[in-house]
Amino acid sequence: MFDQTSFIPTEKLKALRDKIQRIARDKIASQASLVDEEEFFNHEVESLLWDLGLLTLTFPEQYGGFGKGRTVALCLAVEEIAKVCASSSLLLIIQAVGSFPIIHGGSKELKKRYLPQMSQGRKLVAYLVTEPSAGSDIANIQSTAVREGDDYLLNGSKCFATSGGVAGIYSVLAKTSEQEEKGSSSFFLVERESPGLSIGRTESKLGQRGSNTTEVFLENVRVPAGNLLGREGEGFLIAMKDFDMSRPAIAAQALGIAEGAFEAVLQFVKTQHTLRTPIADHPAIQSILADSAVLIEASRGLTYRAAILNDEGKDNTKFASMAKCFAGDAAMKVTADAIDALQVLSGYGFVKDFQVERMFRDAKLTQIFEGTNQIQRLVIARQILKESM
């Protein structure tokens, strides 16, 4: 019902959106409750996403990438899928986030070797940054990479790794120098089969339960020096650049979740009548519809503005944080209101038979990952202060 066309600059993007919308509705929606309930990673959905080329959207074009407008393409795909199943949309986001250090930091030889494996060999990527003592405080990671001849020796414990247990390739952030500063860490490409790499436990979560979240341990994992992504000490910088793409994508996910919940309420009120009047004529219901629609449209504006800026190669850090923060908060409000609306109308908002309680749980994650909304506010304020200097 919402028209995204004003944010979609090309016909190619429109065609992509339409295709995904259809397939999300026909093939992904029906399994959303099941993956939530049973808490499992659905390999059939993964295959479908590979078939559609959605897990390589942000890759260079010769490896299946979308090309110009790739951030918008990622956001559109994430949004459409998140309308029906947030867990499935998260797979797209983490694939883009995890492959970013490889695409933007890997040497020519490294990319030539791994990108075909990843795109044709259909390998998922996980992004190993967060550690038990380094969440928002990325600079505080304890994992180390020590140069030994032609190799690096990696050691450390990573947690909350999305796709951690199903990935074939990992982008790992580790300290390459003892200095306590932002230039002390670097990214490395690590293969799943590397001796010393092991998967810890799989986490049970509040929402997005169809995504796979695990611990990953690195114990004397040896990687060739050529697997260094970017130069030594550039890890923090790459992570920040990655955020400029991933935060609009999280915003798009939040937007999609909110739209899914909104749609559920809208369908319900349009089909129900009381004795005298359609439920949709009730002022209390109209107020919920209006508030939700305002939040959704405002989220859309920020999300695609941040995405377009990124595609144009312009600084989007402030807008990326604004989009992520606003859309995440909006999704929480819209999904909570959807539960209330269905509860008032039918008494059934809170029970699992309707999808909105799942959407509410899924929405909470958007306020937390890729930098909590508290961190986003710091980023926004810092950017504003920097701009006004």
Partner 1 sequence: MFQLDEEQRLILQSVREIVQKEITPRAAGLDQTGEFPLEAVRIFAKNDFLNPLLPRAYGGVELSTFIFCMIVEEIAKACASASLLLIAQAEGTLPMVYGADEPLKGKYLRRLAGGSEILTGLGAIESSAGSGIFSLPTNAELRGSHYILGGERCFVKNGSVADFLVLYAYTDRSKGSRGISAFVAEKGFPGFVFKRDEDKMGTRGTVYSEMRLENLRVPRENLIGQEGEGFANMLKTLSASRLFTAAQAVGLSQGALDEALSYARRRVQFGKTISHHAPIQFMIAEMATGIESARLLTYETAFLLDQERWEKVGTYAAMAKLVASDAAMKVTTDAVQMMGGYGYMRDYPVERMMRDAKATQVHSGTNQIMKLIIGRDLAGIS
The catalytic residues are 370
Nearer to partner 1, 5 or 374 (CB): 374
Nearer to partner 1, 228 or 325 (CB): 325
Nearer to partner 1, 109 or 178 (CB): 178
Question: Interface residues with partner 1 (CB under 8 A)?
Answer: 130, 133-137, 140, 159-160, 203-207, 284, 332, 336, 339-340, 343-353, 357, 360-361, 364-365, 367-369, 372-374, 377-378
Q: How buried is 109 (Cβ within 10 angstroms: 0-12 exposed, 13-18 middle, 19+ buried)?
A: exposed
Q: How buried is 332 (Cβ within 10 angstroms: 0-12 exposed, 13-18 middle, 19+ buried)?
A: buried
Q: How far is the CB of 51 from partner 1 (least distance, A)?
A: 31
Of the candidates 144, 130, 123, the residue with the CA atom closest to the CA atom of residue 218: 144
360 φ, ψ (degrees, to nearest 5):
-65, -45
How far apart (Å, rounded) are the C-alpha atoms in residues 204 and 207?
9
Q: How far is the CB of 365 from partner 1 (least distance, A)?
A: 6
Using CA of residue 284, residue 289, residue 292, residue 293, what is the dihedral sign? negative
- CB-CB contact of 300 with 7 (8 Å): yes
Nearer to partner 1, 353 or 387 (CB): 353
Nearer to partner 1, 13 or 279 (CB): 279
Could you tell me which residues are beta bridge partners of residue 202?
214
Q: List Cα–Cα distances, 359 to 205, 247, 290, 387, in angstroms.
A: 13, 19, 19, 37
CA angle 21–64–250, rounded 5-degree value: 50
Nearer to partner 1, 214 or 316 (CB): 214
Q: How far is the CB of 203 from partner 1 (least distance, A)?
A: 5
Of the candidates 102, 22, 23, the residue with the CA atom closest to the CA atom of residue 56: 102
Q: How far is the CB of 333 from partner 1 (least distance, A)?
A: 11
Could you tell me which residues are beta bridge partners of residue 321?
none
192-199's contacts with Cβ under 8 Å and 24+ in sequence apart are 192/167, 192/168, 194/221, 194/222, 194/223, 195/221, 195/222, 196/154, 196/220, 196/221, 196/222, 197/170, 197/221, 199/164, 199/165
State which amino acid sits at residue 42.
Answer: N
Q: How far is the CB of 339 from partner 1 (least distance, A)?
A: 7
DSSP structure string for 110-125: HHHHHHHHHHTTT--E
Nearer to partner 1, 88 or 211 (CB): 211
Q: How far is the CB of 369 from partner 1 (least distance, A)?
A: 7
Q: How far is the CB of 335 from partner 1 (least distance, A)?
A: 10
